[in-house]
Structure 1
């Protein structure tokens, strides 16, 4: 297991002084990046071998949103490698060791020269040390967008949406999708299924469906092909104790 300690910063909280979903996602993403860098399998290693790990799906569950200045520990570990896929768990615990949020993720190992999946190299498997998968309720990876979803106003990919892979960062997609979640809705689970990459200048056309305690947002290209589908499950603020 790889872990690092932190403290909830002002830049990571919303109007309610609690950490945002996007900040939790960023903590998890940073933790996996730190892990890769510290075992010598980070960005430079991948660039040298012309490979990249692309996120295929997220499932993040939030039991409690820690408050401003709370001390937290972020942890991650891989639990499975299979052909060109890798699976990784994450946890966010508070200063007393109580679980606040946890996640499952699936990643695809890609060859940048052929733009196709590549078998995970033995040095990757040896470097990461597989551990037992987290005891949690694992949701399906696939997300279905209801047929009666509604098209919303299109917008372009901006420079601040991009990461070191020169396409939209996985967390930025989730932030985009949250624009259609009401402010009084407390997200308890977020699932995301990533299908294709958006780059600078691409137009994104949202398709949104709202149902009881579930909001589903597909971010699509101009031909209707899906970049990502994001599903938010939760409760109204009036029924929430955080």
Structure 2
């Protein structure tokens, strides 16, 4: 997978929340987005995964224009803000419901991904009884379970304890080795430097700095 963004701009009313963003990313790498709340990280992620169309500019995936030649990336896993899981379903049932849409993975594979994120002991517990950390892990599991080519994780370490965060970054490394293109947002530069190949620092809707780690 090769991802290209050309002069991406997004206006909401009179406000330009993304301004002149041009960058490229390729498979088998982890890219970090760093910046304060409101700098445009989440909006940029929504544009990349097709949830929001840019006002100006193009997003190309393997040469095809997102929003014109296809509506969403053909192989993507997304964790942005609060996933819409059903309170009355268990973690396992929620993932099985999502997996049934494409029919690409089995129940055994769903159980495996729940074990990977550390939810093996609570996979049959109702979602409404999950702690914030458990809900975070389930969202991460949903993003990676179908082995997508593009993985987008917005602040995935929020509400995770130290051990769970270590597991998260181990998973990110494994997905990178598998050949996925991974985009992660995080406030902490130190954390991003540990897990990323390249970091884009954002401010006021613009890429202010591009660092190779």
Larger radius of gyration: 1
Fold-level match, TM-score > 0.5?
A: no
TM score, norm. by length of structure 2: 0.26
- Relative contact order, CA 8 A, sep 6+: which one is greater? 2
